[in-house]
Amino acid sequence: MNRREAIQRVAMLIGGSVIGANLFLEGCTRPATKEVAVLFEKDTMNFLGDLAEAILPETSTPGAKEAGVGEFIPVMIRDCYDPQDQKAFLEGLDGVDERSKKEFGKKFQELSKDEQLQFVNMLDKEAKEFQKERGQKQSELAEDAEPLPNHFFHMLKQITLTGFFTSEVGMTKALRYVKIPGKYDGNYPYKKGERAFAP
């Protein structure tokens, strides 16, 4: 089953019945629906890792891919997002290559680093615009109304940031991590360029 089929199934599940939606959420560890399970396929995680890497690339410190963000995203989408957001994420992800072809004539993973950066920059701007409108629309709905879906890239970027800065690589190799500081110095010298301490 490809992602497009998967999305249609999610749509049916959500639109189908309330009972379906409840079943969807039950269980101790949340079982991935077949649709979300696609995210755990090796190729997809690799693809997600490349997208995340474009957002937080390797510089003098490791990037999002090395930090395992590609593997982290499926876990978060499966366990921490509502069905309407899962659907939006899968749809958005499904459209990445098509969009990339339209803008650059190549699939995302075939783009140069510069082109990838341009591409995610473009999505970022669109996502920001989308989120602004979403907020406006949501505020016009009743207070207990179902949340409207978020933009695919908005979610991707949030999870990438969280995933990177809470990963072992992010905390210990990008930031400075001192597990047991042993003391407090609130007058500690700092020189521009030195990295921040991990929380």
Partner 1 sequence: MADNVYDAIVIGSGISGGWAAKELTEKGLKTIMLERGRNVEHIKDYHANKDTWEYPHRGGRTKQMEKDYPVLKRDYPLNEKNLDFWVNEKESPYTEVKRFDWYRGYHVGGRSLMWGRQSYRFSDLDFEANIKDGHGTDWPIRYADIAPWYSYAEKWAGISGNRDGLDVLPDGDFLPAMDFNVVEKDLAARLQKEYNGKRHFIMGRTANITRPHHGRVNCQYQNQCWLGCNFGAYFSTQSSTLPPAVATGNLTLRPFSIVTRILYDKDTQKATGVEIVDAETNQTYEFHAKVIFVCASAFNSTWVLMNSATDVWEGGLGSSSGELGHNAMDHHFRCGASGTVEGYEDKYIFGRRPTGLYVPRFVNVPGDDKKRDYVRGFGYQGAASRGRWSGEVAEMSVGGDWKDAMLEPGSWSVGFGAFGEILPYHENRIYLDKDKKDKWGLPVLAMDMEIKDNELKMRPDMMDEMKDMLEKIGVKNVSTYDSIYGFGQGIHEMGTARMGTDSKNSVLNKHNQVWDAKNVFVTDGAAMTSGACVNPSLTYMALTARAVDFAVSELKKGNL
The token pair that represents 92 in the structure block: 């958005």
The answer to whether 60 contacts partner 1 (rule: CB under 8 A) is yes
Query: 12 vs 80, which CB is nearer to partner 1?
Result: 80
By CB under 8 A, is residue 143 in contact with partner 1?
no
Does position 32 bind partner 1 by CB under 8 A?
no
Applying CB under 8 A, among 40, 75, 94, 95 the residue interacting with partner 1 is 75
Taking residue 9's Cβ as centre, other Cβ atoms within 10 Å add up to 16
User: Of residues 2, 18, 19, 59, which one binds partner 1 by CB under 8 A?
Assistant: 59
How far apart (Å, rounded) are the C-alpha atoms in residues 22 and 163?
28
- 173-192 binders of partner 1 (CB under 8 A): 174-175, 178-192
CA 76, 79, 82, 85 torsion-angle sign:
positive
Task: Compute the least distance from the CB of residue 105 to partner 1, in Å.
Answer: 21
Give the Cα separation of 102 and 33 in Å (integer).
31
3-state SS class at 114: helix
